[in-house]
Structures are given as structure tokens and as C-alpha cells.
Structure 1
Amino acid sequence: MAISNRPLSRRTLLLAGGGTVVTATATGVFLGRREQRAPSPPGAVGPFDIDAAAELLRPTPLHDITGPQSIAFDEHGRLYALQVMQGGIRLPDEERTLSGKARRLAGDMCVTAYTRGGSAARHMYLRGFGHGISMGIEPSGDGPMLWVECDADTGTGYGRAVARVPFRHGTVLDSTSPSVRHHRPLPRSHRIHPAVDVAGNRILLSHRAGRSQRYAVYALDEFLAGSYRPLFDRRNNALRSGETLQGCAVHGDHVYQLTGTPYTDSEGVNPPEDGGNTYVSAIDMRSGKTVGRRKVSVALSLPFREPEGLAVRPGTRTELCVAFSVKSDARRKVAVYACPA
């Protein structure tokens, strides 16, 4: 574990939601509350009530026919979804169409931006970036800035670095473009993917170091400046043997993670009658301990129901949102459910 004891920036201290304060301690950064909170309900993981999850977006198509890999929200609460690019598409500067497998190994992805009404109104393509297990959005005066993995390993399709790129509707952006700055804070790690805590001015990197899956948290301003000193770097002790990581987010004191797999038939390892194997867990960044774990029991009747994305939705009442990939006859769709704080 690496801990920074340097002074905190003024921006880091000024978190959104005036009741939040930051205290520097001998063990790192503690995000606390001035006011006392009511006891958490039985279904809570951190402050979020997983048992109270409610539909935010009904099963809805993405721009491409493939399923979602991750979701994120901008400062207005609008949804963005990241997916592996579908096969059979030929972009304007390409000489031929590519298969879905070729797109996956190349790290080619599509970003879909939704309106408040739930329509997939805008999109862009990211070539050579990665698989998209998680993403983040940072507001800017020029529009949303996407934090995504980049520099895909063509043997796996997963990113080896992260990048901050503008969302531009209808465009194609290559990871090799001179405009894309590759941040490489973890050169010995792989399968790196980011999430952003705008209120706390932090970036989370999920990564694999050898066989160990880890979470590292950085001050966003310093990260952008090329200073890669983590506030925390913890082994993911919440990931149980055989579980599949499907997304992560950071909020307050906790890293949240989503695990699970799609339904199988009644004879398989994840039959629908067992309520699925989708779980949300919380990891205390200060101690590295798992401090909450709950099965997600919403929308059990969804067909297929593969967990694919976890994100914090800002607003007057912050929500932790879980996305599912849903099968239909011709394409996958995304469905999103919000867990209130």
C-alpha cells in the first residue's frame, strides 16, 4: 500500500454537498460527515440501499447491437454507456469490415449518450482503447470528458493505460491519435480501467498486478499533471473465488464493485430460480476491508440479466446505479436500476 501524507489541495477539500468534510490522518484521507446519519437499512452497502433499487432505464437499445460493458453519468445525471463495437461495421477510413472478435481484440468500442427521456441520441467510436469494464465522466466547459482505458493489448483486448478524451458525437477517435494522452501510473499492471469521483476530485483505477486484482485511488488534479502518487492502493479482498468483476465506482470512503454472471438454465451454476449471482460490495479505502456485500435482487424476470456496469449518479439524492445486459431477438439492450442513499 502507498499512502500520501502531502497537504491536500483546496479543490480536494471543497467537495460537493456542503455537509462533507475532508480530514488528513496518519492513514490517508478520511471523508466524513458533520451531521449524524440515521441507521442504515438492512439492505444497505455503504449509504446505498441495494434492496430499494428501482428502474431508472427500462431495457433500451444502445447504438451498436452488442451489450453494455459499463455506464457513467455526467453532472446533469445523463447516462452514457460503453460497449465493444459490433462486427460487420466498416468505418469511413477502413478498407474492410471487421468481425466482432476482431473488434474485441483490437479494443474497439462505442460510446452511447442518452437523453433524459432514455433515447440513444448520440454516439462516438473509440478504436484501440480497450474492453470498457468501467468508465468515468468529468465535466468541462467544452462538454463531457470521458475517462476510459486505452492502448489495448491486442492479445486480450484490454487496456494498459487510461486516457481522458472529449465526447464528440459522430466521430471516430483512435487510441494512437496524438491528441490522446496515455496515463501509465501502473506500468506493471494490466486490465486497467478507471472510474471518477467528481465530488471528491479523485480517480479510481481497477487493475491487475500479476494474479492480484487491486484498486488504486489518486487525486485527480495531480493525476492529470502526471504525478501518480496514490492516496490508496489496496488489494481487492472483496472479490471472491470464481466471481467475475463487472464494474466499479468510488464515492465517499468506499470503493464499490459489481460482480456476477448471466443466468444459466436450471441445470447450470446460475439458474434464474436462485435469484442470480449479482452482488454489490463496498471496500473501505482506509483499511482495505470489505464493509458491505448485498445481492442485487431487482428485476429478476429480465431475460439473460448479466450485470454490466456500476456508477454513481449525482443529484440532490445520490444513487448507486447497476446496469444489466438484456437479450432480445436481434440485439442486446441495457437496463439500469438506481439504489438510493
Structure 2
Amino acid sequence: MHQLSRRGLFTVAGVAALGSTGALLGASPANAAVPDSPRFDLSGAGDNPVAKKSLHANWVMQSFAYDNVHQHLYFAQVNTENSDRANAGDLWITKTDTEGNELGSMALHNFGHGVSIAVEPYDGSVYLWTEWMSSSSGFGTRIGRFAFADGTVLEKTSSAVQDRTPSIGDTMINPQPAIDPSTGRLLVRYKTGEDQPRIVAFDLADARAGRLATQHRLAERALPSRGAWGAANPFQGFTAYGRYAYLLEGRAGGPSYISVVDLNGTGQSTVVDRWETTAGQSLPGREPQGMAVWMHPTGPRLAFGFHSNTGGVRQASVFVKTQFV
């Protein structure tokens, strides 16, 4: 771990929308409809399998995703207190069991903010998909895929990182990955301009192989613009289960919201818009952070997380919804 201290990772403890309808673009298969699926019921606070767990570093939890084969969790944490530009986009990855008990960790240097990550068990290894190639703002400009390796430091220039940024003709600002384990699809949320978010989906086998061009898209559509409300309630993560994408928004110390988008919908339509969740309301400094789908042995679960701060100790909590409407 000598590289880590040398590079200063330990210095702080712890679209232009394409048409007003937002319709899918191009010829088949990009126009293929997303198959129907049930939609998660958002009512109630939900179960709480990870409750106020400290992760590897005393940094802010930003997102998480499940290894649904081995039943593990991977959290991304960002150092929000280090203003040194050389450390913009530094992340810790903490591997845990499904109750949040640490099993390993890995450091990423100059990758991004960690807004959303994806986990892919494949061919005997576990691969992570994250923001990559951080800008001076600390947000990633591309998407990278790499194998998780406990106890290591990965530089953004490492040949171990595979560039898996879609090339579909759009301007792609702050691309963020998620994997739908129910369909085996990679989804990428990105912006083409200020407050112009979109989402695009690919078959995971295509994405793994780097086939991420226009002709490989399975679906694409606009996501809701939020204007001043969105600026006050920042985007905090997303995931997808079948036909529906779920978006998490909110600020520290304020209300938290989940919206539901039909991937077969058009324009900026939503199925459920700004549904306020009361999960974790007693958490000190509660801030929504991250969403994922957990393929639990008893059935799929929609998971969403919160960062909290108890007297300077930063912690992670995860709540889940288990029922469908």
C-alpha cells in the first residue's frame, strides 16, 4: 500500500435531448422495447439489512452494488474533505457481506465521485464498473471496468482498467453505470448538457466486450429534468429492474425521494415522481446515497442507501423494498 500514502490518498482520515419526445434512436435493435416486468412497491420504510456500518475509510459512502452470485456488497466512498487537486476523484471500495461487515478493500486514484457503481461476477473474478478518468471537479469523464483486487491501489492510467464508455454520438457528461441483474443489462445514465439527463441500455455481454456503439443499444430515453428543484435535491443514484428504472434524489439533512421511470416511456415521463421515503429518518446527517437491485435468495429487492455522520464517524445504511405493486 506504499503507493497510497505516497499519492496522498490517506491525507484525510477517515442532453441536448434528441427530439422532444425522447424516443429511442436509430434502427433495430435500438428500438427494441424493454420486456414487461413487475414494479417495486415504494410504500413503507422498508427493511434495513445494513444499519450504520463503518466502512474501510472514514469517507462518505456514495453508492453500492451487489455481487448477486456470492452475496456480497461493494461500497464506493469518496474523500469529500481533501481539496488537493492531485486527489480529485479518489475513491475507496469496501467489500462487505450483505449486513455490511467488511471483507476487503481497494483504493482507486483519480477515478471519480462514485455516484453509481456496478458489480459483475464473471469468469472466476469480480469486476467493478465505475466512473473513471476524473476531471478537476472530481467527477468521472468515462466508464472503466476492472477486477476487484483486495488491498491494492489502482491508478487511473493502469492498463488493468478497460474503457467501457458508450460511443453513441451523444455528448456524454458524467457517465454513471448500473447493472440490472434480472436482465443482464448494463445501463448508463449520463447528461448531454446542463439538466439534460438520459439513460441507455446494452446487453451486458456486448458491454463486457466493448460493443457499446449506436447499433448495440437496446433502449435509450430522456430522464426528467429537475430545474431549480433538482439543484436543491441532487441526484444520488439509480438502478433498474426489468422495465423500470429507479432514481434517488435528495440532500443531506433534508427529505429523500425516489422516482420511477418506464424505460419504454417517452419524453420526460415518470411512473412515480418524487415519492418521499421516510427510511432512516433518525440517522444523523442523513443523506441518500446509491441504489441497487439485490437478487436475494428469497426474491429480488430494491435497495437504496444513506450516509450518516455520528460525531464525525461516517457510516452507511441500506434499506430494501421487497414487494411489487
TM-score, normalising length: structure 2: 0.82
**Fraction of identical pairs, as percent:** 28
Post-superposition CA distance 1:4-53 (Å, at most 9, x none): 523xxxxxxxxxxxxxxxxxxx95233235xxx7xxxxxxxx32334251
Aligned to 2:73: 79
**Match of 1:206?**
189
List alignment gaps of at least 5 residues for structure 2: 1-23
> 1:257 corresponds to which letter in structure 2?
L
Q: Secondary structure at the match of 1:231?
A: strand
| 2:48 equivalent in structure 1 | 55
Question: What's 2:3 paired with?
Answer: none
Task: Say which one has the larger Rg.
Answer: 1
Which residue does the alignment assign to 1:250?
240
CA apart distance, 1:105: 5.6
Instruction: Give me the CA root mean square deviation.
Output: 2.1
SS, match of residue 207 in structure 1: strand
1:220 paired with 2:204, answer yes
Counterpart of 1:114 in 2: which secondary structure?
strand
Q: Specify every segment of 5 or more residues in structure 1 that has no aligned partner in the other structure, as ranges.
A: 7-25, 38-45, 88-99, 264-269, 271-276
Tell me which residue corresponds to 1:64: 57
CA distance in 2, matches of 1:104, 1:28: 43
- The 8 Å contact of residues 69 and 131 in structure 1, kept in 2 or not, is answered as yes
Q: Who is 2:33 aligned against?
A: 29
> Per-residue displacement from partner, 1:236-274 (whole Å, max 9, x unpaired)?
1164642210001011101111000011xxxxxx4xxxx
Does the 8 Å contact 1:84/1:104 carry over to 2? Answer: no
Does residue 2 of the first structure (1) align with residue 25 of the second (2)?
A: yes
TM-score by length of 1: 0.78
How far apart in 2 are the matches of 1:308 and 1:104? 25
1:18 is aligned to none
Using the alignment, how far apart are the partners of 2:292 and 2:88 within structure 1? 25
Does residue 311 in structure 1 map to residue 292 in structure 2?
Answer: yes
CA contact (8 A) 2:115 2:236 kept: yes
Sort the Cα spacing of 1:284 and 1:300 in 2 relative to 1 into closer, same or farther, 3 A. Answer: same
Query: Cα–Cα, structure 1 residues 86 and 307, in superposed 2: closer, same or farther, change >3 Å?
Result: closer
Q: Mapping of 1:109-188 within 5 angstroms?
A: 109-153=91-135, 155-186=136-167, 188=171
Aligned residues: 286
Q: Distance in 2 between matches of 1:240 and 1:290?
A: 16
Structure 1 runs of 4+ aligned residues shifted over 3 Å read 238-241
Written as runs of structure 1 = structure 2, the 5 A alignment for 1:185-334 is: 185-186=166-167, 188-211=171-194, 212-228=196-212, 229=214, 230-237=217-224, 239=226, 241-243=228-230, 244-263=234-253, 270=254, 277-288=255-266, 289-293=269-273, 294-315=275-296, 316-334=298-316
